[in-house]
Amino acid sequence: MTDNKISRRKLLQSTAASGAGLLAASAAAPSLAQDEMDLPEGAAGKLTVIHRTEYFEEAQTIFRNVVSDFASANGAELDISTTNPESFGDFMGKMTAAVAAGNPPDIAYTSNVSISQMALLDLVEDVSDVVDEAVSRYGNILTGINAEANGKINGAWRAIPFIANSTGYFIRGDKLDEIGVDPASLVDYESRREAALAMSDPDNEFWGWGLTPNQSGDGFGWLISLVQAYGGGFTDASGMQVNFDTPETRAAFEWLAETYDRNGRFGPALPPGIESWGDISNNEAYLAGSIGYTHNAFSVYAAAKRDNNPVFPHTKLLPAARALNGDSRDGGVTGGWLTIFKGAPNLDLAKDLALELLNPANFNRMSSVAGGLFMPAYENLWTDELIAADPNFAIIYEQCSVPEPFIGQSWPAQPNAAIDAIRAQGVLEQAVGNMIAGRMSPGDAVADAHQKIVDIFEEGGIMQG
């Protein structure tokens, strides 16, 4: 993958943008706030580690203990802290400043941060030697998580695949039984929307539809998957020509407008405030027994299992919704990366730490308590014992092992920094928010978003004809 066609100047501008609420001009509540992050300063002899906040505290505690034990064994002082992992947070801008100042942290464990952007900005080291060593020890990287497409830039690995994940498409099986719907029949978004409406009972505070359009990891993932199901996308297959304003994308927006119209047919399926939900909101609503269908990482499933939640035995896992033309959207994702920053004061120690975290004696301890959120990215770490630990682990493995996985948000193009900049600015969610709030028609919202994407590309030197 080559990412040298968008300028560093524009990328810095785009990634500095923080997430704002979609419906700020409406009566909806603001979106989930993103924490500000003050990066620790790296220094020789002080191993500096930043990591995402885990949904399960026990997994996070094990991670920190492994790092602490490693630092002690190597006679290094340790500075370890958490970071905001979302692309619309302030991670990229602050990391750019830290690298420029010559005192970056050594290593980070993150998710939802663009590796191609970090490589273009020259923020991360070439870690091909670490990835090659991990593969020699733990087997090939799972084919279904698109690790090479996202993490190998111009022939060099710029991040170390750490975790494999698949999105969970969760639905209440007991509610489907009540309305006489076989979950196997819910193969696309239209059938799932109809089932969500049929199972809704607002008078008893139960709503079928639990997918937010707000700026968040879950919101972005859901919205782009719907646009792509209709055949729309940000660009053409080259990744360099903006192609958002198409009949397919406009049809997808019409569908979304119909879905989120509280006065329309599907209004009874919408829980209060869904227009401004953040990433935690759908977890809470599903676990409270208030919604029937949602997309999430396996945090919902894992929490329900851990807490013996009454919804757990009724939770069914659906495959990815198929496109309108019937194409499969199956595949997993690299749910976590280890990145070593340019000029890391303790480069060799950071590389050794990455391999120590992948050591099954350590990794499997984290995986065992994370309920499907912390699964191996390497083939040989998927032992029979691990797969047998939970009936849905086999499904995760299957999703993460498909030989030709769907490429994800960049489709029909390969991932690149220019497309990642679109997400960082929240263009898609803002367009849907403008439409839902009544500020724009579906067609006008698509046209406005198209022009914003053109502006991003052209300011980055990718001129549009």
Q: Which domains does the chain have, with CATH numbers?
A: 8-165+333-400 (3.40.190.10)
Nearest to 246 by CA among 464, 463, 443: 443
Q: Are 431 and 449 in contact (CB under 8 A)?
A: yes
Q: Cα(150)–Cα(74) distance, rounded to whole angstroms?
A: 32
Residues 6+ apart with CB under 8 A from 190: none
Virtual CA dihedral for 270, 273, 278, 279, nearest 10 degrees? -30
Distance of CA 159 to the CA centre of its chain: 16
For residue 173, the model assigns a pLDDT of: 97
The CA–CA distances, whole Å, from 298 to 89, 177, 211, 370 equal 22, 23, 15, 9
Token representation of residue 427: 């263009």
For residue 260, the model assigns a pLDDT of: 98
Q: Cα(159)–Cα(116) distance, rounded to whole angstroms?
A: 10
What angle, 0 to 180 degrees and rounded to 10, lies between the N-to-C axes of helices 217-229 and 247-259? 130
For residue 74, the model assigns a pLDDT of: 97
Q: Which residues of the chain have pLDDT under 50?
A: 1-4, 7-36, 87-88
Q: Are 59 and 369 in contact (CB under 8 A)?
A: yes
Task: Note the pLDDT tens digit of each residue in 384-441.
Answer: 888 888 877 888 898 899 998 999 899 999 988 888 888 888 999 999 999 999 999 9
For residue 322, the model assigns a pLDDT of: 96
Nearest to 126 by CA among 158, 87, 154: 158
Locate tokens 């849907």: which residue?
Answer: 432
Q: Cα(360)–Cα(335) distance, rounded to whole angstroms?
A: 17
Query: How many C-beta atoms surround the C-beta of residue 418 within 10 A?
Result: 30
